[in-house]
Structure 1
Amino acid sequence: MSRFSFSRRTALILCAASTISSILPAARAQGTAPAYNVGATATGVPFTFLDVKTNTIQGMMVDTVTAVGKAAGFGVNVQQTGFAALVPSLTTGKIDIISAAMLKTPARQQVVDFSDPVYSYGEGLIVKSDDNKAYASLDELKGEVVGAQVGTVFLDMLNKKGIFKEVRSYDSVADMTRDLALGRIRAGLGDQPIIAYQLRQNAFQGVKLAAGYKPVNVGDVCLVVRKGDAEMLARINKAIARIKADGTLAGIVQKWGM
């Protein structure tokens, strides 16, 4: 080997080593952000829903948890989970966070921990399109057959009321509104912003929101974590405060017409 080729090879090696040494600190500084599994439903438009074009879960709460993750320094893997399975999936470790239209209630707080609120709303009363009766309260439906989605606080409301001929439970709001339009039930309860959004999109036929009804079960929508996970809760709450302060959350709410 000539002195020239040896010197050239040595220079190349030193150059490569210099390049690698300059890259490694930056890579270490950047690190790899952890990614958490997030449970969301496919039937909670505009909070969470399945986008058939991309086969992914989208919606206001998906955007919110993504923004929270960005502010907190972690990634999210959003997974389709039935509403009734959200809490069991969280407590058994299948998911790490719930981001859905799940209202904070005392009963749920015994099992899981809720973040600071990201949105607040109450129930909407759904009736047939040709039902023009003014419903000031649920008392005016005494003796009727009514319904709500399984796993919701609205189904508990109806059962606890104890004045109805029958309370039927449904896997989805779409199933409930279908029965309502067919006259199988007199009225149903559901998430007011979800119903209003889907009615604007003509997703439900033959039904409407009772205009005079005033919700009595107004609650907060939050991100949900496992009971006792104080570190995760504090991290999420700090991120929520940040996206509220910089206007990110307000922009998300406006984007989804809520």
Structure 2
Amino acid sequence: MKAKILAAVAAGVMSVTAFSAALAKDLNVGTHPVFAPFEYMDTKTNQYKGFDIDMIREIAKRNGYKVKFHNMGFDGLIPALLTGSIDIAVAGMTITEARKQKVDFCDPYYQAGQSLMVRAESKNVYKDAKSLEGRTIAVQIGTTGADFAKTIKGANIKAFNTSADAFLDLKMKGSDAVITDRPVIGYFVVSNPRAAKGLVQQPIVLDDEWFGFPVKKGNTKLLNEVNAALKAMKEDGTYAKLHKKWFGN
């Protein structure tokens, strides 16, 4: 009899779990998975991975959503939010005044900043923005690194779809430096030592930036849910755990 009761209870729990899963609403998440360690595609498992990916999955779970990822170009994320094709974007996106005119950002969740990658033989030549005046700079299209490069006097800017392509161009001497987010350069050096051989990250931080997840302007319900989850994750240690997983500190 006891075994039958336990079996019935277990079946009931499974039914409730299945019912809850069936009721879970889709959270359509736009991402450009070429920005490790924030978001990238694991070529072995064909699964989305990264700090942002883990963050949005946890946020969705806490709010009863089922994540549905949409792979798209970085410069297509905000237009997709405006048309309602996606609900939120996770792509290491810097909060800027220009972007805030179009979308609403959640509370800042990561402090970043633009930095320089140069060839080893040029490390004493290209040390800061001033030294890059009139030089060729590789950037990832649509990023704040690309925006920063445009402010450098006389710079010839080469835009690529991914930061990895920009690093390759630098290595092949097609450009003099790459400007992109500091943690992206650091992760590339650590995770791709062969590709990064002969390249050096300069210690300078060109500006101070914060990343945020954007939603369609006026979507206060989702914005409040995301902010509440972020706050709770920081308070209960989940954020620190994920940060250590991807950045080691």
Question: Fold match, TM over 0.5?
Answer: yes
Contact in 2 for aligned 1:180/1:188 (Cα 8 Å): yes
Contact in 2 for aligned 1:62/1:78 (Cα 8 Å): no
Tell me the CA shift for residue 50 of structure 1.
0.5
Aligned twin of 1:9: none
Tell me the CA shift for residue 74 of structure 1.
1.6
Whether 2:55 is the aligned partner of 1:74: answer no
Tell me the SS of whatever aligns to 2:196.
coil
Aligned twin of 1:176: 166
Contact in 1 for aligned 2:115/2:202 (Cα 8 Å): no
Q: For each residue in 1:197-217, what CA deviation from the matched residue of structure 2 results, as whole angstroms up to 9, or x when unmatched?
A: 11111263345343342x232
Aligned twin of 2:208: 218
In 2: Cα distance, 1:89 partner to 1:28 partner: 31
Structure 1 pair 185–245 and aligned structure 2 pair: CA distance change class (3 A): same
Aligned twin of 2:102: 111
Aligned twin of 2:136: 145
Aligned twin of 1:246: 236
Aligned twin of 1:237: 227
Q: How many residues align?
A: 235
Contact in 2 for aligned 1:177/1:207 (Cα 8 Å): no
Aligned twin of 1:35: 26
Structure 1 pair 102–139 and aligned structure 2 pair: CA distance change class (3 A): same
Write the letter of the residue equivalent to 2:158.
R
Tell me the SS of whatever aligns to 2:79.
helix
Aligned twin of 1:132: 123
Structure 1 pair 142–229 and aligned structure 2 pair: CA distance change class (3 A): same
Tell me the SS of whatever aligns to 2:142.
coil
Write the letter of the residue equivalent to 1:116.
D
Aligned twin of 2:49: 58
Aligned twin of 1:122: 113
In 1: Cα distance, 2:102 partner to 2:143 partner: 15
Structure 1 pair 69–53 and aligned structure 2 pair: CA distance change class (3 A): same
Contact in 1 for aligned 2:33/2:91 (Cα 8 Å): no
1:1-16 aligned at under 5 Å gives the runs none
In 2: Cα distance, 1:28 partner to 1:68 partner: 20
Structure 1 pair 29–143 and aligned structure 2 pair: CA distance change class (3 A): closer
Tell me the SS of whatever aligns to 1:220.
strand
Tell me the CA shift for residue 135 of structure 1.
4.5
Whether 2:220 is the aligned partner of 1:227: answer no
Contact in 2 for aligned 1:71/1:243 (Cα 8 Å): no
Contact in 2 for aligned 1:120/1:218 (Cα 8 Å): yes
Aligned twin of 2:4: none
In 1: Cα distance, 2:65 partner to 2:139 partner: 35
Tell me the CA shift for residue 29 of structure 1.
8.5
Contact in 2 for aligned 1:71/1:242 (Cα 8 Å): no
- Residue identity over aligned pairs, in percent, reads 30
Write the letter of the residue equivalent to 2:44.
K
**Structure 2 runs not aligned, ≥5 long:** 1-8
Q: Which stretch of the first structure deviates more once superposed, 244-253 or 174-183?
A: 174-183
**Structure 1 runs not aligned, ≥5 long:** 1-18
Q: For each residue in 1:27-78, what CA deviation from the matched residue of structure 2 results, as whole angstroms up to 9, or x when unmatched?
A: 8994712121111112111100001122121110000001111122222112
Write the letter of the residue equivalent to 1:219.
E
Q: For each residue in 1:65-104, what CA deviation from the matched residue of structure 2 results, as whole angstroms up to 9, or x when unmatched?
A: 0111112222211222221111112211221110111111
Question: Given the alignment, which residue of 182, 197, 202 partners 1:192?
Answer: 182
Contact in 1 for aligned 2:123/2:202 (Cα 8 Å): no
Structure 1 pair 234–167 and aligned structure 2 pair: CA distance change class (3 A): same
In 2: Cα distance, 1:103 partner to 1:84 partner: 13
RMSD: 2.3
In 2: Cα distance, 1:224 partner to 1:236 partner: 10
Question: Given the alignment, which residue of 67, 76, 85 partners 2:76?
Answer: 85
